[in-house]
Structure 1
Amino acid sequence: MNRTELSRLVVFATVAETGNFRAAADRLGIAPSAVSHAVSTLEEGLGVRLLARTTRATRPTEEGARLIARIATPLSELAEALREAATPSTTPAGPLRITLPRLAADEIVMPRLPAFSAAFPLIELDLRCSDRFEDLVASGFDAGIRLGESLEADMIAVRASGPRRSVIVGAPGYFARHPKPAHPRDLAAHNCIRRRFDSGRIYRWELEKDGRRLNVDVGGSLILPQQELILQAARGGVGLGFLFGDMVAEDIAAGRLIAVLEDWCAPFDGFYIYYPSRRQMRPALRAFVDFFRSAPGAPEG
């Protein structure tokens, strides 16, 4: 592959990322006509259409998406190599893309973000909050934060919090109308507030007692996307919520919520920072991992 072909691939990847020829031209600092010519020449050389163009948007075709999947990581590594060449190798600097759920952002990163930014002013931290488990390499992330039980075996993982524990709670008003469940099978008779993840999957309540594990497909009249909303609904007496213990500790202590089936709510692994195995970790990523690993004061739920 010659340098001209490489430049055309860069132009194509930029158009695919921005979804717009003019936006790609602005980012690359070239004329829109040059962007259009580069993409057209690439398509003619390959004999396939890479981008589907409409008056509203420009999206990769099936062939274009396959090509993006193959070149995204090499192009990212080239850009990273150029950034490292321009910055002393010992200085943490440059963009750092992290995927994490909102709860991890609230509890682990945001409380210590001012100190991190002050210590590493040259790092451009890009946090993307989502419950979806991302393929770091394919999605262009440097690292992620997730619960330890959901990590892939080929990831390097370092602990960022203590163990967690979820509890089943309901408001006193709810239990005035419904008997408290004495066994997980009793949940079938209750209005359970369910949670739908960004992927579309509805969470099945994971319970455990004396080594016996149950994944309970509960039913109910309400489905919500976030624990914070489930907490509000549970406080209002809508139904039972299955929530992290630290989120409801004050409500339980104040009598606003009542915990049930506590003997079935066993602790589980907390949050971990995870990233792909690399021979040479970027200084920016190393700084992030070292700063947020085993964060002091992390709740144990």
Structure 2
Amino acid sequence: MKRDELGDLSAFLAVIEAGSFTKAAAQMGTSQSALSHTVARLEARLGLRLLNRTTRRVGPTEAGEQLAATLRPCFDEIEARLASLSALRDKPAGLVRISSSALAAEMILWPMIEALAPDYPEVRIEVNVESRFTDIVAERFDAGVRLGESLDRDMIAVRIGPDMSMALVASPDYLGRHGSPSAPQDLVHHACINLRLPTMGNLYAWEFAQNGRPLNVRVEGPLTFNLPGLCLNAARAGLGLAFVPEPYVTEDLAQGRLVRLLAEWCPVFPGFHLYYPSRRQTSPAMALVVQRLRWRG
């Protein structure tokens, strides 16, 4: 294989993973036309059509899918070997890409980055905030952050935060006008601010428990959002009850802007974990991030 052919294969794989010439070109720092020419050259050399091109998306042909399946582990191994060379440096270096929810990124990842960055300027960290579950292998992330109760079994999981619970909250003004629920069943008499889950698209059923027995409640109310922060804005404005992860409301509770309700009905569940594939070799930069994030509480 000629040296330039390796670059053509890398370009083809970038297009497959991005699903777009435009996105792949931006990631590679080249032009869309140059990238298209590179892939066309590869197709001509192989005598096979590798991509199906439409106005909206680019996808692999059967031959293209087979080639991509062959290339992915090879390029992963090359990247892992190159990353391991940084162990020979005085300090770790390289890129670590992490997929995370907004809450984990703000509460856990940012404090780690703020403390690590000055001492390790050659470690680059990219945090991609998403509310959906991300396939970190397919989308080539080094790691993801997820609650401990929803981790895949074939991943290495490292606890990076304390256990958590949900918090039912309302403003003092709302409670003054409508009173406080004494049990989850009383929520039918209250304006509840619904949260639409971005992962499934359905409304979140509020999860309670007592004495180990779960109780899920489908609530109703005039407002529905797909972001917990907007649910809290509505609760602060006295428009109803919100049910969100406890870290979102710590300051509101301390300042008296919100009041917590039915705390005895809100069970504790495993907090945030950093997870990454067990079969992938860990780079020194990734090992440093894991070491800094590991929960020691």
TM-score, scaled to structure 1: 0.82
Contact kept in structure 2, 1:97 and 1:126, CA below 8 Å: yes
Structure 1 window deviating more from structure 2 (19-28 vs 83-92): it is 19-28
Deviation at 1:119, TM superposition (A): 2.6
Tell me how far apart the structure 2 counterparts of residues 176 and 85 of structure 1 sit (CA, whole Å). Answer: 61
Indicate the SS of the match to 1:77.
Answer: helix
* Counterpart code for 2:264: D
* Counterpart code for 1:125: I
Contact kept in structure 2, 1:167 and 1:243, CA below 8 Å: yes
Instruction: Give a deviation string over 1:186-227, Cα, whole Å, max 9, x none.
Output: 222322112223323432222111111122222222222222
2:292 aligns with 291
TM-score, scaled to structure 2: 0.83
Matches within 5 A, 1:128-147: 128-147=128-147
Structure 1 window deviating more from structure 2 (231-240 vs 111-120): it is 111-120
Indicate the SS of the match to 1:221.
Answer: coil
**Out of 41, 45, 57, which is 2:44 matched to?**
41
1:240 aligns with 241
Deviation at 1:112, TM superposition (A): 3.0
Deviation at 1:248, TM superposition (A): 2.2
1:84 aligns with 83
Identity of aligned residues (%): 37
Contact kept in structure 2, 1:11 and 1:39, CA below 8 Å: no
Deviation at 1:77, TM superposition (A): 0.9
1:299 aligns with none
Matches within 5 A, 1:149-298: 149-199=149-199, 200-278=201-279, 280-294=281-295
- How many correspondences in the alignment? 292
Deviation at 1:36, TM superposition (A): 4.4
Indicate the SS of the match to 1:80.
Answer: helix
Deviation at 1:15, TM superposition (A): 2.9
Indicate the SS of the match to 1:120.
Answer: coil
1:23 aligns with 25
Indicate the SS of the match to 1:157.
Answer: strand
Tell me how far apart the structure 1 counterparts of residues 224 and 61 of structure 2 sit (CA, whole Å). Answer: 34
* Counterpart code for 1:243: V
Indicate the SS of the match to 1:127.
Answer: strand
Deviation at 1:80, TM superposition (A): 0.9
Contact kept in structure 2, 1:145 and 1:272, CA below 8 Å: yes
| Shift in alpha-carbon separation, 1:234–1:188, aligned structure 2, 3 A | same
Deviation at 1:52, TM superposition (A): 1.2
In structure 1, runs of 5+ residues without a counterpart are 297-301
Indicate the SS of the match to 2:274.
Answer: strand
Tell me how far apart the structure 2 counterparts of residues 102 and 161 of structure 1 sit (CA, whole Å). Answer: 14
Indicate the SS of the match to 2:138.
Answer: helix
Tell me how far apart the structure 2 counterparts of residues 53 and 247 of structure 1 sit (CA, whole Å). Answer: 43
